Amino acid sequence: MKTGAACAIALSGRAVCGDTGAMNTVTTPQRRALVVDDEEALARLVAGYLEREGFEVDLAFDGPTGVRLAQERDPHVIVLDLGLPGLDGVEVCRQVRTFSDAYVVMLTARADEVDTLIGLSVGADDYVTKPFRPRELVARIAALLRRPRGLHTEAAAAPATVMTVGALSISPDAREVRLDGEPVPLTRTEFDLLSALAAAPQRVFSRRALITAVWGDGYVGDEHLVDVHLLHVRRKLGDTASQQRFVRTVRGVGYRMGSGE
């Protein structure tokens, strides 16, 4: 069933519409999830699986309600459908990224690469193509949530100092990147990938090594997510495929940090 109404619906089935507030089920307050999908049966199914994993789950069936609940409930993870009434998933993700660093898993019924690139360009951490198995989705979410605020690499155990690569400075403590003194707005995943590379500038990382460093050993999705995220890092740094001042491609192997010169 599809609806354009701004309604948040608890798993008990009671709906709250308009500005009267969000409904939620109380399980484990420490972990909150928001499922935004206009296919109500699917949203409820996903929410049920997440509840069994100890999440407190809110549901929204349209884009504007999804944005509102993301602001009000401050979820740790958002499962976000690409095709939504009111605002599509890309715009919802774009707006959410202005106030939240929640992990975002984008759902799409269209498997073409364009949708994936668009979704990730506004800050989605992962994507799943419909139809999917709810257990797989939950496993992907669990892998994301195992990521610490820092990294899984050897750099995590080292003192958090500012790393400098040419005109680029990366501060793990502040989770801040500056280029020529000006801040560069990276998403959490983009920051973690860049930090992993900068922490071992002489090392060439394979996609799998970067997946392990940033997503952790439990990640079971497409390793080409690394390529997409690093493409956006390059764009934000004003880098080009020909220059590769900061993130360099090592053909047939992976990526390493450049000299910045």
- Summarised one tens digit per residue, pLDDT across range 161-175 is 788 888 899 988 888
pLDDT (tens digit, 9 = 90+) per residue, 110-149?
Answer: 766 666 666 677 778 888 888 889 998 998 898 888 765 4
Of 136-140, 180-184, 215-219, where does mean pLDDT reach its minimum? 215-219
Name the burial class of residue 161, with classes exposed (0-12), middle (13-18) and buried (19+) by CB atoms within 10 angstroms of its CB: exposed
pTM of the model: 0.62
**3-state SS string over 97-134?**
CCCCCCEEEEEECCCCHHHHHHHHHCCCCEEEECCCCH
Instruction: Tell me the sheet residues that pair with 205.
Output: 255
List Cα–Cα distances, 166 to 93, 179, 238, in angstroms. 32, 9, 14
Structural domains for the chain = 7-145 (3.40.50.2300), 154-257 (1.10.10.10)
